[in-house]
Amino acid sequence: MNPETKLAHLKRLLTEYSDLVDTIGLLDWDMETYMPPGGSSGRGFQKATISRIAHLKLTSGEMGKLLEELISYEEELDPDSDDARLIRKANRLYKKKSKVPADLAADIAKATSDAYYVWVRARENSNFSEFQPALERILDLKRQLANCFQPFDHIYDPLLDDYEPGLKTADVQQIFASLRPEQVNLLQAITQRPQVDDSFLHQDFEEKAQWQFGVKVITDFGYDWNRGRQDLTAHPFTQDIGLGDVRITTRVMNDYLPSAFFSTTHESGHAIYSQGMDRNLDRTPLAQGASYAINESQSRMYENIIGRSRHFWLHYYPELQSLFPAQLSQVPLDMFYKAINKVKPSFIRVEADEATYNMHIMMRLELEIALLEGSLEVRDLPEAWNSSMHEYLGLTPPNDAMGVLQDVHWSQGYFGYFSTYALGNLIAAQLWERMEEDLPDVFEQIGRGQFSDLTAWMREKVHRHGAKYEPQELVQRITGSKIDQRPYMRYLTNKYTEIYQL
C-alpha cells in the first residue's frame, strides 16, 4: 500500500475505536441521568466488554504496523496539518495503551461503573465506610495502571498524563507552589474587610424558572441545542458522544440560586468548546479537548470571567429579577454582583468562590499523591481530608457528605484529574488577556448580551483545533507563554480590590 492508502486505513481503524469510546460515553451519560439503580451491575459488565474491545482495537498488531509505517510519511507532511497531527496523536495513544493489559482496562471500567452507585448511596447516607471497599479496589487498579509505565519520575505522572499530556507531577506542584502564597495573601486581605451580604440568595427559587433562565443564557452564549441537551444529575458533567451530540447536565437547589446557574454556564463552556471543533476531526482521537485543563479553561471562563462579571449582569439581571420579583426586585444590581462574588471559605468545591476554589484543588492533589504513594491509607482518608480542609481553608466538615464524599471523581477512577480545574483557571485568564488585546470592547459586547465575536475568537484560536496540539503548545501559540499564574492573579486582584475595597 502507498502512504495515502495506509493513512486511509488508519483513519478507518481510528473511527471504529472512536465509535466504541463514544458508546462508552453514552453508557456513562445514561448511568448518571436515567438508568435505574438496579442496572448498575449489568452496566458495569457492558462497559467492561466495550472497553476491552476498544482497547484491543487500538493496540492491535495491525494498528501498530500501520503507525510504524506511517511515521516517516508524517515527517513529510506539514507538521500542523490534520493528517500529521492525527498520526502523531494516534502513535502516542497506541504506545501508551499498548503498555496496559486489556483485562486491566476492562477491570477498571467494571470497578468504576460498580462504584458510582455505591458512592451515591454513601453520600446520601454520609457514610464513607460504605464507599471505602470500592475506593480501595479502584486505587489498587490505578496503582497497577500507573506501574505499567515504569520507570517514571513519580507514580502520579502516568495518571496525570491521561488528562494533561506532557505535564509532570513536579510541573503542577511547582505551579501550585508559586500560586498558593499569592492566593493566601489575597484571601487574608479580603477577610480583613467587611463581609458581603448574600442572604437574599438563600431563599426559595422555583426550579422551573431557574432552569428557564440558564437555558436562555447558554443559548445566547451559542450552545447548539440541535447537537445537545441538558438533564439533571447528582454531579454536573458534560458528555461528548461525537461532535454532533454534546450533552450537559446540571443540578438545581431551590434554596440557593447560584448553584444551578453557574453549573449550567460551566458545563456550557465545555460543550461550546466541543461544538466548535472542526467537524473534519469527528470520529478521530483529535475530536476532543487539547487537555482537561484547556477544557476547564473554557468552562471556568463562561462560568466566572463572563458569568460573574458586572457587565454580564447589566444585561441579564433585569430578566432574572422579572423571574423572581419577590426575591430580587428590591435587591440592587451592585448588591447582587457582590453577593455572587462573595469570598468565604466553604466546604463544597463546586460552590466555592474564585478566591478559595484553587485551595480545594491543591488539597485534593496532595491527598491523591499520598494515596498513590501509599503514605495514606483509604481508611484514613476522611480524617486526612478534614485535617487538610482545616489547614487550607480553616474549616472542618461536619460530615462525610460535605467532606470526603462530595466529589464523584474517585468513584470513576479519575485520579490525576483534579489539578486540571486550577490549571484551567490559570489558562482562562491567560486566554482572556490575549483576547482583550484583539477585542478591547469585549466586556461592552457582553453588556449588550452579544457573544458572537467572543465565541468566534475562541473557535479560531482554541476550539477548532481539538486535540491537534498538546496543552502547553496550544497556550504558548496563543498567548506567547506556557501556563502562567500571573494573569489569573491580576484578574483576581483587580476584581476583589474593587468588590472589597482592598
Judge whether 356 and 343 are in contact, CB under 8 Å.
Answer: yes
157, burial (CB in 10 Å: exposed 0-12, middle 13-18, buried 19+): middle
The residue among 126, 196, 191 whose CA lies nearest residue 355 is: 191
Judge whether 210 and 261 are in contact, CB under 8 Å.
Answer: yes
Q: Is 150 left (phi over 0), alpha (psi -120 to 50) or beta?
A: beta
Residue 327 CA to residue 332 CA, distance in Å, equals: 12
Q: Which of 267, 354, 368, 470 is catalytic?
A: 267
Residue type, 131: F
The residue among 260, 273, 204 whose CA lies nearest residue 230 is: 260
The residue among 332, 371, 358 whose CA lies nearest residue 424 is: 358
The residue among 253, 162, 138 whose CA lies nearest residue 203 is: 253
For every residue of 327-362, DSSP letters joined together read HHTTS-HHHHHHHHT-----S-GGG--HHHHHHHHH
The residue among 101, 99, 112, 157 whose CA lies nearest residue 138 is: 112
Rounded to 10 degrees, the C-alpha dihedral 132/134/135/141 comes to: 150
Residue 189 CA to residue 375 CA, distance in Å, equals: 35
Q: Which residue bears the cell 481539538? A: 466
The residue among 38, 136, 88, 50 whose CA lies nearest residue 285 is: 88
Residue 15 CA to residue 86 CA, distance in Å, equals: 12
Q: Which helix (H) or strand (E) holds 106?
A: helix 102-125
Cβ contacts of residue 52 below 8 Å, gap of 6+? 102, 103, 105, 106, 109
SS3 category, 406: coil
Answer yes or no: 267 catalytic: yes
SS3 category, 36: coil
User: Crossing angle of helices 3-33/102-125, nearest 10°?
Assistant: 20
Q: Dihedrals φ, ψ of 23, to 5°?
A: -65, -40
Catalytic residues, by residue number, are 267
